A and B are shown apart, each in its own frame.
Chain A
């Protein structure tokens, strides 16, 4: 019983971090209506940025946020502006331009292999960081400290993003663009600049996720792929474009992965995750928090 509670808690914590890695994906999809296949790659790039910042400066891993978040914002902004926007413009009459998906897949392959070439295939961890292997003891239960920090960061980030969308001038403009592009243009909003900003924001949030992962997770060139597939499942579970949906979807996947192995072989948990994924698609295709009117 005690293990079940412990696993559930750790599942919720890790799940929140999964949710945070998927949050950027859902932001970008919500505004551009483009499934960004390079999302895991953006996470990988962010993890390298976080890894090198921490290992070169020797600072507390979370201080890397100060560098990683603005760097990733700029990276995402110009990736959209230079690589994706021209394709987007060429297909501007299509609501969900499929060519853009192919381009993001290209970005994924190029960046993953470029990283492999520059940094090599080895797994990199931060062995001496102050969060490494830290546990809180609650009676007989052990709660991972870096995951707890990550979960708190995930919830705080989700709230901040939600607030930004609801209450700021730019946030409203982003929502307007996501709901009706032409009407947004007619209200004086430069839609292509909004797409750049939304892509930058999604990438910056992914940077936050990377900073929470680096203290306890290895950094390597194909690390993004693991989170990519998980991210897609999470955002479809929670509802594409929904901010709370991303976090809740992440927590559901986290709990299944953590509690499942108590009752069965660990590999079966994936089957449950995918089974649930299919079930949601059958029963509520817009996802748990998705709004069907948005389509």
Chain B
């Protein structure tokens, strides 16, 4: 439309044709081009991009521009010659302006395909971004799945081995132990990816875990708890405490021949629930560096649920290892 207007003004003022003729000329030429141009869209979309190299593209569009420009000029001139058959001045002008019109046609052609290519690229970019976004979501879900605190096989088998011994020495205790292992397993298996639990429920199951470890290591594992009962209803991610306690057990009991103690403190204020877990370890033993996946998983899970990376802090002193977990009231 804008091009038509410019063409009209040019024809009307510079070449002093009548209003009617100028308007018709502009409209005819431009609508014919617009018609052909819309055909270019398909040309660009379906065949233009199959040409992989620059040379092929160039050849393709050279053919395209020749064809489109000739068709455009031929059609438009034919229409104008029919409409303005009696106006000899105009007809002469039409013949003379062919070179100019060819140039304009070529220019318009390339302008149009450039715009089309841009549009297609933008569309593709958008699609790719959407695809990537959906992939990221899927990945995040998969990761959460993986991160979900799982009962480690060696813990399970060692515990079952203790049960096996207890069935011979103390059947009542064996039964108790089987029930505790089952309850802990059920809790860990039934929890969804971002499942929330309450502190009370979490502490109950963390207690099961510690009880089982106490049976395995008897007097070598000491646990002291300081829990503010007012925090019991605080929402916490399910199975978030167990990996932290397991880490404390691993650093302590697994690497110490003597007794190892774990201190669990839970407090809460307006904004946060603070869980503090502290364990001592043998200074002389050179603890094997674990893979650190346990704590890392807790961190990643917190990041996925709360979108924050500052909720778990770890302090390693000469003979003790402490973690502080902060759980915000709302996710």
A binds B: no
Which residues in A have some Cβ–Cβ distance to B below 8 Å? none
Which residues in B have some Cβ–Cβ distance to A below 8 Å? none
